[in-house]
Amino acid sequence: MSEKKRDYEIGYGKPPKGRPFQKGQSGNPRAPRGQNGFAALLAAELDQRVTITINGRRRRMTNREAIVAQMVDKSTRADLRAIKMLADMQKEAEAKAGTAAPEPTQSTTPGKLAAEDREVVELFVARLRQQIAAEAAEAAAADRQL
């Protein structure tokens, strides 16, 4: 198609020359968005409702809820793998929700002591040095007597 000189306003049937769509938008914005991909399929299956029997009673819940209930049930029976997986899942969920346990403070971090803790350690070291010096003086006095 040949390029024609257009000396009119942009409008219906008269697209802008530089770019036909606004930045970040292309195609038909009213078209239905397809849910392709593994993540969408997995989410759809996990949100599907199933009927399960717990303690002789039938309950309806999603597959996601059933998986969590089964993990908790196995972990209460001392299944170590289930306990580890459940703990990891809980940490991840808390991290995403922002309710995770706070990071350790300076007093609990190895290598870094709070001022009060440092004072106690320094007093302990000073007492040990005095005890070692006293024992060395006793040993030296015993050597002189021999």
47-104 pLDDT per residue, tens: 999 999 888 999 999 999 999 888 888 888 888 888 898 888 888 888 888 776 656 5
User: How far is the C-alpha of 146 from the C-alpha of 139, rounded, in Å?
Assistant: 11
Secondary structure element (H or E) that encloses residue 70, with its range: helix 63-76
| Domain assignments of the chain as residue spans, ordered by start | 38-97, 108-146
Average pLDDT over residues 27-42: 73
Sign of CA dihedral 65, 66, 69, 71: negative
User: How far is the C-alpha of 72 from the C-alpha of 87, rounded, in Å?
Assistant: 10
Query: How confident is residue 30, by pLDDT bands cut at 50, 70 and 90?
Result: confident
Does 4 or 65 have the greater pLDDT score? 65
Cα end-to-end distance, the chain, whole Å: 117
What is the pLDDT at residue 34?
A: 64
CB 89 within 8 A of CB 71: yes
